[in-house]
Structure 1
């Protein structure tokens, strides 16, 4: 971890300790996340009176809701009171990096601290990875990047990467989420291989186009063109080759069987979700990655199948379309808490 990251964590831990936050009982993670989503909504430019009223209603529903809200508010106020130089130091600053907005940074740090208030929690969280990375995408954002060598990278929703190009290699560090990589030939005098390094191991490109997705328990690789070589982190001597049309799930220690790649693996890069006899539960889980708040379905319809093409850029429209061809209905507790029910 860099001195910058350590300094930022230290400053916020010191603030939390002075206010007694680290000694407080931890709040349920789902409640903290919902409080952070409400705060982000109220910070947005198009916030409405209905949003404000709905947030107030949510806070009144349970004492833990209000406690999570007040803890995030406290962290935001502490940060706002910091002198500008200290605030700039607490957030990673470099002209060549794409930075998150100050308020979004506050939201993410507040979320991590409110959930537990410990350095280890912040260091392990995707929140911190998104905050301190070179490039990141927000929830629902699909972001296209062109790297210095011409390699194209598409960041899926809620994803983050670091770039490490040296005289001997080109490395992309996947810190969270999912990316689509289209490699470009290296024009440097000395050939530099291009690789993606995920939590569970390294993926070396062999002149290729491929997708890497980092999940809770494993990393998934899908090859769309040419081939890649995979080395699991705990078994660097083990080399697994994937060719075009193949996919693999692997952890740091184990790898699953090589499988045939579905035709629509990278359809997300075009902003669409292509469902082919997909269980409703799997559909809801996938669509939920692209929208803030809570999205769930009733257990009795979880295994119902859906087929079609759905927008990832307008998830509300996709939910409405889901009810057009199936006997389903939507229940909105708020704009950000939706349940799919049988009709």
Structure 2
């Protein structure tokens, strides 16, 4: 690895960790949030590292307390100490990136990448149509008829008989004369077949064939589950999110993939049901529609810090 690039990455990691510590403290002011947005907007690398840092923070819940993290739980009254907490977290962040299978460096250096909320389509040299959903990274190796989904979600339409192989970490999918939607994160990968058939070779277990309408989810521990996929699932290709009687919590978890910043909601709202078709290019509008049709209110500290609460509590 280039030493200069490594030092730059570590410095950016420390900066991102400081911001995370301040946000988690609940003491960030409106000016703090504005400064954070300026920092994120200063360069694409800032935003990409910020997104990776947020993802890794979730994984820290599994880190043993003995790894010097116990001190982060001590209540500290002043802002200076909160920033020190960020520095302590930053010590772990670069190491976590280097050891992770889906490192930010790998994502940053991917051949194709979309930011949060961005979608794009690419016609490959062999004629296949590749569509990238929000926060997605893909590496291409068409010499060997292979692409790697580093993270995120893609739709792939292969019209030729010769298969294009897609690496998902937990499995390899061979796609020939078929349309598929593939999704990958740290915990699992999901393979849905829209048309045709594909061959799947999991990292653990025997190979199997999926037909149109099949959906296979493979977890990091090697377990798998077969299901029928929701025909509205690929609607993101047209820039919409379509749901029918879906629990609000599940809907918001999906919606949050398309907007930067924090989107939180109180547990009391989790089981409310949502039906409709929503445009993904205006997630603020989606939240407004939810507040108009469900008993909830939107509390916004800024465009990037949103909390949903029961309407009677907001009154």
Q: 1:116 offset after TM fit, Å?
A: 2.8
Note the 1:44-63 alignment, pairs <5 A.
Answer: 54=30, 56-58=31-33
Q: 1:161 to 1:102 in 2, by over 3 A?
A: farther
The answer for unaligned runs of 5 or more in structure 1 is: 1-5, 39-52, 60-65, 77-100, 187-191
Partner of 1:183: 158
Partner of 2:122: 145
In 1: Cα distance, 2:307 partner to 2:16 partner: 27
Q: 1:286 to 1:29 in 2, by over 3 A?
A: farther
In 2: Cα distance, 1:193 partner to 1:242 partner: 14
In 2: Cα distance, 1:312 partner to 1:286 partner: 11
Q: 1:32 offset after TM fit, Å?
A: 7.7
Q: 1:13 offset after TM fit, Å?
A: 4.0
In 2: Cα distance, 1:225 partner to 1:312 partner: 25
Note the 1:256-271 alignment, pairs <5 A.
Answer: 256-271=224-239
1:210 equivalenced with 2:187 (yes/no): no
8 A Cα contact 2:160 2:176, kept in partner:
no
Partner of 1:251: 219
1:104 equivalenced with 2:97 (yes/no): no
Normalising by structure 1, we get a TM-score of 0.69
8 A Cα contact 1:126 1:176, kept in partner:
no
Q: 1:277 offset after TM fit, Å?
A: 1.1
8 A Cα contact 1:108 1:128, kept in partner:
no
Q: 1:133 offset after TM fit, Å?
A: 0.2
RMSD (CA atoms): 3.3
8 A Cα contact 1:220 1:250, kept in partner:
yes
Runs (4 or more) in structure 1 with deviation over 6 Å come to none
Q: Give the match's secondary structure for 1:122.
A: helix
1:174 equivalenced with 2:149 (yes/no): yes
Count of equivalent residues = 270
The answer for unaligned runs of 5 or more in structure 2 is: 54-85
In 1: Cα distance, 2:129 partner to 2:264 partner: 34
Segment of structure 1 superposing worse, 122-131 or 264-273: 122-131
Residue deviations 1:283-337 (CA, integer Å, cap 9, x gap):
1111110011000111111111111111111100111111222122111011111
Q: 1:120 to 1:234 in 2, by over 3 A?
A: farther
Partner of 2:243: 275
Q: 1:27 offset after TM fit, Å?
A: 4.0
Partner of 2:62: none
8 A Cα contact 1:232 1:251, kept in partner:
no
8 A Cα contact 1:247 1:260, kept in partner:
yes
